[in-house]
Amino acid sequence: MPSETDKQVGATVPAGPGDAAGPGDAAGREAARHPVAASEVGEAPVLLAAAGVTREFRIGETRIEVLRGVDLGLREGEILAVLGASGAGKSTLLHCLGGLDRPDAGSVRFRGQEIFSLAERELSRFRNRNMGFVFQFHHLMPEFTAEENVMMPGLVARQAPEAARRRARELLAEVGLVDRAEHKPDELSGGEQQRVAVARSLFAAPALVLADEPTGNLDPATARGLHDLMYALARRHRQSWIVVTHNSELAALADTRVWLVDGVLRREGPAGGAGGRAGERAGDISG
């Protein structure tokens, strides 16, 4: 009999402990020529495993259940897209998986380690070493250049400034913006700002990147270019990504798609189809 962990969305967890056109798109196309094969992802070890994750909020006397027992398995090198309606709880889920918010119940394990067993300071260090984050708004510091924004995680970690600067230049080259390194955010387009944010998220070479509607403020063509670039970078560096998006066309580029509906993850959208029966919980479908 398979355990509940064996039935998680995504990986089967073993039992036991930019703009639409530009340099960034060329980099993405080049990386996409050397993708991680689906068979490689399927055989890779599990990176992140969530079980029974719940989260609720109270507004006065009203209790709002946002997550109602989310189960998830993500393998090394896998790209997982999470879709769902506005207000479904996708951002809340991403924050819990990334250790930015503590769930009310359940567990989140990263390479077997329960991340919420860590004290706040240890958890912060753990995130900085192992995870990168990209949000809908770029959150670049306006007084600093693109290069300085990308190198900021290194400076916070007390790296030597020149080493941090070299790493930032490498990453800006990867996203096609090395020629914009000395420009401040207000001198960049929306797509360029988000590419800088992506580069910053990769500074520590994290095993996992969590992206919350990273193209939500971009026009469709620029959004597609940024998604292509993000997924190409994930393949090149064999990183795992969890991408929250409303856009099913862009989500189709991922290895795995799941929907957050009524506080749980499902293999198919709320109208059914996409490989399952309407209303069937993904947690009840073998990975």
Stated as kind and residue range, the H or E segment containing 263 is: none
Q: Do 249 and 266 contact (CB within 8 A), yes or no?
A: no
Residue-range domain boundaries for the chain: 5-284
Distances (CA, A) of 48 to 8, 142, 182: 11, 34, 37
**Per residue in 188-245, pLDDT tens?**
998 899 999 999 999 999 999 999 988 788 888 888 888 888 889 999 999 999 999 8
Distances (CA, A) of 33 to 114, 189, 197, 204, 238: 36, 27, 24, 24, 14
**Per residue in 171-183, pLDDT tens?**
999 999 999 999 9
DSSP letter, residue 14: P
Q: What percentage of the chain reaches a pLDDT higher than 90?
A: 53
Q: Do 66 and 107 contact (CB within 8 A), yes or no?
A: no
CATH hierarchy code of domain 5-284: 3.40.50.300
Separation CA 226–CA 24 (nearest Å): 8
Query: Which residue, 109, 193, 107, is CA-closest to 149?
Result: 193
Report the side by side order of strands in the sheet with 62-75.
9-10, 62-75, 46-59, 105-110, 113-114
Query: Which residue, 56, 63, 68, 53, is CA-closest to 264?
Result: 68
